[in-house]
Amino acid sequence: MYKNILVAVDLSKDSLKVIDKAVAAADSDNSNIHLVHVVEPVAAAYSMDIYAVNINELQQEAISMAEQKLKEIAKRLGIDETMVHTLLGAPGPEVRNLAAEVNADAIVIGSHGHSGWKILLGSTAIKVLHGATCDVLTVYVGED
C-alpha cells in the first residue's frame, strides 16, 4: 500500500484505467493521490514552420485544455484541485521531478505495448522509470 501516489496520465480514454489502478494501490485511509499531465512543447511535438503560427498561443491553449480536462477528472473522482498538476516539458523528467517534489512513494503510469523496449513499458514509461527514486507501477492499457 502506498500513501502518496503520483498518477501520470495522457488524458486519453485509458487515463481512468490508470487512475483506478492507482486508487487500488493506495492506502485507503491516508492516501494522497496527485494527478499530473505533462504538455510537451508545441514546437517539439509538431514539425511546422514556426513563423507561420503563434507558438505561444498554441502552447497556452494546449496547457489550458489539458488543465481543464485534468481538473474535470479530478472532480469526478473526488481528488482535491490542489493535487492536480499540469506541467510543460518532457514527460519523463517532469514526472520524476514532481514525484520528488510531492514526496511520492509511487508513480503510476499507463503503458502501451509497441515494439522493442516499448513492448515492455512504452517510451514515456521508460523515461519516467529511468532515474526515478520511488516505485514506478505501470498499467498496461494496450494498443488501440
pLDDT tens sequence across 63-119: 999 999 999 999 998 899 999 999 999 999 999 999 999 999 999 999 875 544 444
Q: Where does residue 124 rank: exposed (0-12), middle (13-18), buried (19+ CB within 10 A)? A: buried
Q: How far is the C-alpha of 50 from the C-alpha of 58, rounded, in Å?
A: 11
What pLDDT shows up at residue 122? 53
Give the whole-angstrom CA distance, residue 56 versus residue 72.
24
The CB density around residue 13, as the number of other CB atoms within 10 Å, is 9
Predicted pLDDT of residue 121: 45
Q: Are 122 and 114 in contact (CB under 8 A)?
A: yes
With a cut of 90, say whether residue 124 has pLDDT above it: no
CB-CB contact of 141 with 124 (8 Å): no
Mean pLDDT calculated for residue range 46-63: 72
Asked if 91 and 98 count as a contact pair (C-beta separation under 8 A), the reply is no
Structural domains of the chain ordered from first start:
4-140 (3.40.50.620)
Task: Output the CA–CA distances (angstroms, integers) from residue 72 to 46, 47, 51, in the order listed.
Answer: 26, 30, 34
Q: Is the pLDDT of residue 53 over 90?
A: no
Mean per-residue pLDDT of the chain? 84
Mean pLDDT over 5-15 rounds to: 93
Report the distance separating Cα 84 and Cα 36, nearest Å. Answer: 6
pLDDT band at 142 (very low <50, low <70, confident <90, very high): confident
Residue 135 predicted with pLDDT over 60: yes
Q: CA 112 → CA 31, 123, 125, 138, distances in Å?
A: 27, 9, 9, 10
Residue 103 contacts residue 32 (beta carbons within 8 Å): no
pTM of the model: 0.84
